[in-house]
Chains A and B, each alone.
Chain A
Amino acid sequence: MRKFDTKVQHLKYKILREVARHAWDDSLLKCVLDIPKQIFPGPKPTMRCCVYKERAVAAERVKLAMGGDSQNDNVIEVIDIACDECPVGGYEVTNACRGCLAHRCEDVCKKGAITFDSNHVAHIDKSKCVECGACAKVCPYTAIVSRKRPCQSACKINAISIDENLSAKIDNDKCIGCGACVYQCPFGAITDKSYITHVIDLLKNKESRVYAVVAPSISSQFTYAKLGQVITGLKELGFHTVVEAALGADMVALSESRELVEKGFLTSSCCPAFVKYVKSAFPKLEEHISHNPSPMVAISKYIKETSPGAKTVFIGPCTAKKSEARLEGAREYVDEVLTFEELQALFDSRDMDITTLPEGVLDNASYFGRIFARSGGLSDAVSQAMKEQGLDTSFVLKPEVCDGIEACRLALLKKNKNVLNANFIEGMACSGGCINGAGCLTHGEKNKSEVDKYGREALEKTIGDAVSVLM
């Protein structure tokens, strides 16, 4: 079964796996320069113009797999030499245009930007075009295409521009770290920094116990094996035990519902990309962000407080969590963050076939904590927490479920103008929720049903029951 959606992910994984392999046996410093050649032995190139370019890009990937540019605070970085400098012309008419009679493109264009030459072939007047894409949608020959770069199309908050060398450039003040561009760039020229070697250092040090805190979206990942085998695999890697981040979500749901009733209006705080977006693009609304820690921080804090000396590693679908873990209020509790992609590399760096392992168990959280992973789940959990605490008699929850950063933007714009008919904004930067995070191995429709199924399997049916063990 295919472990990844794309070949770009597969290449990134191979680099991570080799870096991890050398980190385990302390040979990284000695062998770091050999990794590109190991991945691209040559003499014929397999992906780019020549083997030397492949190796040069691979060397950059090795650097990112080892933490990237330490002078750059953003966890998302552009590999300049990997960027193919895609065309940037916007909407263009291709030679598929048949010069038809209908001229739907002209009719639909509100700006009058479409003209026709003597052969009835359409042309777009760039001075009038606003890049709405309506003409492309109606053309029966799909003759109109967008020459927008995939990274720029993916970045819905417009943090990516093009520098003087035509390479993609990230505005670090605007970037929310969601990783949409990382997943979408067909050349793998934008990637998230990895701290996989830090995790290996933690695991090698037998002095302290390392706790894996796994996000509930794990239920839709590693589908070639059973979830229980992934849990055993984590323990074989050296993690002391595996705890559900969803239990942190249960804790958050309880306190966030109380905070909401007290303040009357709130936005969620569990998606770090959404939180950064509010702070950078809507600073006036910052005061409305819930003061609750994210589920990752809530449960890691509990682990650190009950098990002195413990180290915590969050494992999830998210690139933005890597940034969150470095912020004050989180770094005290979360030692490192890994994505599912990186976990796959970690398993394979030990040549571990998890499908052969016995099944371990993972059960701490309730149904509601687990469905935080998909859009709408957080609102359902807050609604449930209000019911369980009897808060729903005096306060009516009106959630605005924002599925993806564009929906978040709309809701925040409305709130800014005081025309939002809701008292709770559930903000998720990735469409579909965490199950479509950039660090997932696979993305797809069935991820949601997998998370719901995993939710229903929880031993504890209510949030109160799940958190009652946390003394």
Chain B
Amino acid sequence: MKIVVCIGSSCHLKGSRYVVERLQQLISENSLDSKVDLGGTFCVGRCQDGVCVTVDEEFYSVSRENVDEFFRTAVLEKLG
């Protein structure tokens, strides 16, 4: 599974660093390092919806507040 977090300016100001660090932590806590490939990209063109995250090309709007829930529903549940 490939998760891409937007680290462009707009998402950066909305907290993409927190999202990245939290996802790294969650991936490691759940021992998913071999199953999940976390990466960054500059601007996916949907700045209003940032922090923009895609999971295998599927778009999610993530924030500091909902990053844990996002991980549970969009990552953990999909990985089964």
Contacts and interface: CB of A to CB of B under 8 A. Distances in A.
Contact of B42 (A211, A231, A459, A471): A211
A460 to B, nearest CB: 7
Interface string B1-31: 0000101111011001100110010000000
Given A468-B20, A470-B7, A459 B12 contact: yes
B43 A469 contact: no
Nearest to A307: B41
A99 to B, nearest CB: 66
A465 interface: yes
B13 A303 contact: no
A307 B45 CA distance: 13
B42 A303 contact: yes
A287 interface: no
Nearest to B21: A468
Contacts of A363: 9, 12-13
Interface in A280-323: 303, 306-307
A243 interface: yes
Contacts of B45: 240
A459 B16 CA distance: 12
A469 B42 contact: no
Interface in A351-400: 360-364
Contact of B39 (A211, A241, A471): A471
Interface in A231-284: 231, 240-244
Contacts of B24: 471
Contact of B13 (A307, A361, A470): A361
Contact of B40 (A240, A361, A470): A470
A307 B42 contact: yes
A361 B13 CA distance: 9
Interface residues of B, number: 19
B7 A469 contact: yes
B67 interface: no
A364 B39 CA distance: 16
Grouping DSSP codes into helix (H, G, I), strand (E, B) and loop, the A interface class, with mixed when no group exceeds half, is: loop
B21 A306 contact: no
B9 A242 contact: yes
B12 A364 contact: yes
Nearest to A310: B42
Interface size class of A (residues with CB under 8 A): 20 to 34
B38 interface: yes
Given A240-B43, A303-B42, A306-B40, A469 B9 contact: no
Contact of A471 (B9, B10, B13, B20): B20
Nearest to A469: B7
Contacts of B12: 363-364, 459, 469
B24 to A, nearest CB: 8
Looking at B12, B20, B42, B43, the one whose CB has the most chain A CB atoms below 10 A away is: B42
Given A469-B20, A471-B20, A241 B7 contact: no
Contacts of B21: 468
B7 A364 contact: yes
A470 B40 CA distance: 6
A362 B42 contact: no
Contacts of A231: 9
B36 to A, nearest CB: 11
A361 B17 contact: no
A361 B10 CA distance: 6
A62 B43 CA distance: 36
A141 to B, nearest CB: 57
A471 B17 CA distance: 11
Contacts of B39: 306, 471
A243 B9 CA distance: 7
Contact of B17 (A211, A240, A243, A465): A465
Interface of A: 211, 231, 240-244, 303, 306-307, 360-364, 459-460, 465, 468-471
14 contacts: A240-B45, A241-B9, A241-B43, A360-B9, A361-B13, A362-B9, A363-B9, A468-B17, A468-B21, A469-B7, A469-B16, A469-B40, A470-B40, A471-B24
Given A306-B40, A307-B42, A363-B13, 4 more contacts: A241-B42, A243-B8, A306-B41, A459-B12
